[in-house]
Amino acid sequence: MPLRLLKYAMSREHPAPRFFRACETPKKSYDAVIIGGGGHGLAAAYYLARDHGITNVAVLERGYIGGGNTGRNTTIVRSNYLTPEGVNFYNASVKLFEDLSQDLDLNLFYSTRGHFTLAHTESAMRTMRWRAEVNKHVGVESYVVGPDEISKACPQLDISCSGQAPILGALYHAPGSVARHDAVAWGYARGADHMGVEIFQSTEVTGIDVQGGKVKGVQTNRGYISTNKVLSAVAGFTPRVCKMVDVQTPIIIQPLQACVSEPMKPWLDTILVSGSLHVYVSQSSRGELVMGSSLDPYEVHSTRSSLDFVEGLTTHILDMFPFLSNVKVVRQWAGMADITPDFAPIMGKTPVEGFYLDAGWGTWGFKATPISGKTMAETIANDRAPDLINSFRLSRFEEYELTGEKGAASVGH
């Protein structure tokens, strides 16, 4: 990177380099086709090429890369989950994230802030202790702190929450971080492209050709592509893609909304989450407060945002930070979340041979981008899911072996 910058200093021309080739006509066949050019799909393409030498891969994106839930989340990376399976998995992701800027040669603005999950009731404190013990057991730095330590880390926070819901303590998670989410998608896209992966934007899959229980190809608006391996990494579109291959899942779609405030001088250097107030908030490197809340309460396949959401969220933000009453909300948006009954993802093989799922990412997908890409690449290359994601398999539902992940954000439990 520095050498490239130096070259620009010597030159009169400063053309913006393309991150990846603008592919338009797909080849007749690929070794693997990835549906969905979000962080997960592009990461899977990157690790397929880098770790498994499979470079004859097409990534098909209906819109533009990173324009789905990759660019709609609140960018928080953490691993303080409740089940050992969840903690191990997300911890592997945090580890990959820590080195990702170097790996991809792109500044992801990965910033380790520390993460407080606030508890306003005794029962919430009990859950925090439980999570802390599971985390410590697995080797993740999380522990329970009292109101004094929270005040020290964030003096602006009203510990009594306007007297409505006094904070009794918190689960502190040292590795909690934020990152520039679209850069993650672009970095993986560039890395995959350099190794030969072809990325097609504005390319919609309209059907998947299955013969005798095996994937044979995909039909797209740019023609038919034959392939024996298809990965679906499409976030809120999973039920539609699964319908094409007649695979049943428990996933339903609920919108998840978020918003940002106008930019301010830096004052909040930690990430704060409150399950009771349905709030998570951090300050971006641009100075905006990035705020999220709970899922919309029913199924809709739409990314429309609502006034109910900002009203509800900002009321609770003001309980925590009364001094923000004159700060304006400048943008709000929604993403479609794949919700599963146990708040854990669905990853790995399906009853259709050659059709792989990376789905059920609900409200917990961005933080898992590197590890899901890596484990799905391994699954596709070996036609066998690694042990790390075994408890997230689709067949767990018919086997009644649900994961019970209650550490997920923005879902009521």
Partner 1 sequence: MKLLKCPMNGVRPLSEFVFGGEVREMPDPNTCSDKEWATYVHHRNGAPGMKKEWWYHGPSGTWFIAERNTMTDEVARTYLYGQEDKQ
Binding residues for partner 1 (CB under 8 A):
238-240, 242-243, 248-253, 297-302, 304, 306-308, 341, 397-400
What is the three-class DSSP state of 260?
strand
Q: How far is the CB of 7 from partner 1 (least distance, A)?
A: 50
Which CB atom, from 300 or from 330, has the smaller least distance to partner 1? 300
Task: Please state the closest distance from residue 325 (CB atom) to partner 1, in A.
Answer: 23
Of 243 and 331, nearer to partner 1 (C-beta) is 243
| Under 8 Å between Cβ of 316 and 279 | yes
Residue burial 106-115, b: 16+ Cβ < 10 Å; e: rest:
bebbbbbbbb
C-beta separation of 146 from 153 below 8 A: no
Between 336 and 377, CB nearer to partner 1: 336
Q: Of 185 and 359, which CB lies nearer to partner 1 in the complex structure?
A: 359
What is the DSSP track for 42-54?
HHHHHHHHHHH--
**Minimum CB distance to partner 1 smaller for 166 or for 341:** 341
Comparing CB distances to partner 1, the nearer of 13 and 311 is: 311
Quote the least distance from Cβ 239 to partner 1, whole Å.
3
Say if residues 142 and 173 touch (Cβ distance below 8 Å). yes
Pairing between β-strand 115-119 and β-strand 169-173 as defined by DSSP bridges = antiparallel
Taking the complex as a whole, the smallest distance from the CB of residue 149 to partner 1 amounts, in Å, to 37
Which residues, listed in sequence order, are joined to residue 102 by a DSSP beta bridge? none
Tokens 């809709």 — which residue?
300
Report how far Cα 57 is from the mean position of its chain's Cα atoms: 22
**295: number of Cβ within 10 Å:** 18
Shortest distance, position 99 Cβ to partner 1, whole Å: 36
| 163 torsion bin: left (phi>0), alpha (psi -120 to 50), beta (else) | left
| In the complex, minimum distance from the CB of residue 253 to partner 1, in angstroms, rounded to a whole number | 6
Least distance from partner 1 to the Cβ atom of residue 291, Å: 20
**Is the Cβ–Cβ distance between 302 and 333 less than 8 Å?**
no
Nearer to partner 1, 387 or 398 (CB): 398
